[in-house]
Copies of this chain bind each other. A is one copy, B any other.
Amino acid sequence: MPSKVRIALDAMGGDFGAAVVIPGAAISLQRHRGIEFLLVGDRAKIEPELANHPALKAASKIIHTDVAVGMDDKPSQALRRGRKTSSMWLAIDAVKRGEADVVVSAGNTGALMAMSRFHLRTLPGVDRPAIAGMWPTKRGESVVLDLGATIGGDAHHLVSLAVMGAAMASVLFNKPRPTVGLLNIGTEEIKGHEEIRDAGEILRARNLPELDYIGFVEGDGIGKGLADVIVTEGYSGNIALKAAEGTARQMAELLREAIQQSWMSKLGYLFARGAFQALRNKMDPNKTNGGVFLGLNGVVVKSHGGISAEGFASAIDVGYEMAHTDLLNKINQMLNREGGALNFVQTAPEDVS
């Protein structure tokens, strides 16, 4: 466990760049005094922000570049134009060269994934990376993956997601053997793709010491908190996440509109304000911000692009936690030790998706 956690920030990423990244870093530093920051980006934009945060300034080094990846750049464009020069690349490069333990960026997801994959490469035993996120549930939070890094995938891929997700949950929730469920649909005999059934059989047969496989979980089981880790391939994971986020936003808007309809309900709102605030806190995207790229030789955390400084601080917190608890080594051990999680399935037929 490193005594100091060194975090590289893509200071130009996101809709607001340094104006959110620097104040966000200052907030996170108050919570975790042991962070050292590498701030990668345009010095002329970073320094004025830093001037407002002397403690952060003292804990930071700047790596200057005025090249930034655009929020709408395609991954291939970003790689072509921003390789070796952009703030995103140089932040990833700091991890690659061992100068940082984790990189956090609010830049565009496709570009960040493409650059991370290109430069950091996947871990031995992992074909394709994943994005893992935190999902607010009735019981607290669950890790859900893959949220859209990789579309489709065979049983081997799903098992590797289960292992990586379990490693993440074990360090985040401090549970030696988190529960893992495979996302599936309900009707008994048409249950799921072949690969989901196969992955379930493998997980059950292996009975791994690091995770407790509990079977299939339906879409409404995620929010019930039926498992600490919910595993699915990236297309359905992304659809599920966005459908849920959309519904939460829709309900909040409906409620707001309904309350505006009469002075009675406006008055009621004043009295019940505490309750609404509690609801907002629980479902606040700022609090669960930070998708973690898993399966790479390095930890990369992706923040929402349009987030506030408080939200960006949450993404840094996630990165801190991952580095502080040595997630990467834990995943590596689980994946690749003698008799490790994936040995059993590496003889399975190659990706057929």
Contact = CB atoms under 8 A, between A and B. Distances in A.
Interface of A: 74-76, 109-110, 113, 137-138, 148-152, 183, 185-190, 192-193, 218-224, 232, 234-236, 238-255, 258-259, 261-262, 264-265, 267-276, 278-279, 282-283
B223 A247 contact: yes
A110 B189 contact: yes
A259 B279 CA distance: 10
A246 B220 contact: yes
Contacts of A219: 238-246
A248 B246 contact: no
A240 to B, nearest CB: 4
B224 A246 contact: yes
A193 B234 CA distance: 11
Q: How many copies does the complex hold?
A: 2
A232 B243 contact: no
Contacts of A283: 251, 254
B264 A282 contact: no
A142 B74 CA distance: 31
A240 B238 contact: no
Given A183-B239, A251-B251, A272 B269 contact: yes
Contact of A250 (B223, B258, B267): B223
A253 B276 CA distance: 12
Contacts of A236: 235-236, 239
B239 A75 contact: no
Contacts of A258: 274-276, 278-279
A97 to B, nearest CB: 27
Nearest to A152: B193
A188 B113 CA distance: 12
Nearest to A245: B220
Given A109-B187, A149-B190, A236-B236, 20 more contacts: A110-B187, A113-B187, A138-B250, A148-B185, A151-B193, A186-B242, A219-B240, A219-B244, A219-B245, A220-B249, A223-B246, A239-B240, A243-B244, A251-B251, A258-B275, A261-B278, A264-B274, A265-B271, A268-B272, A272-B272
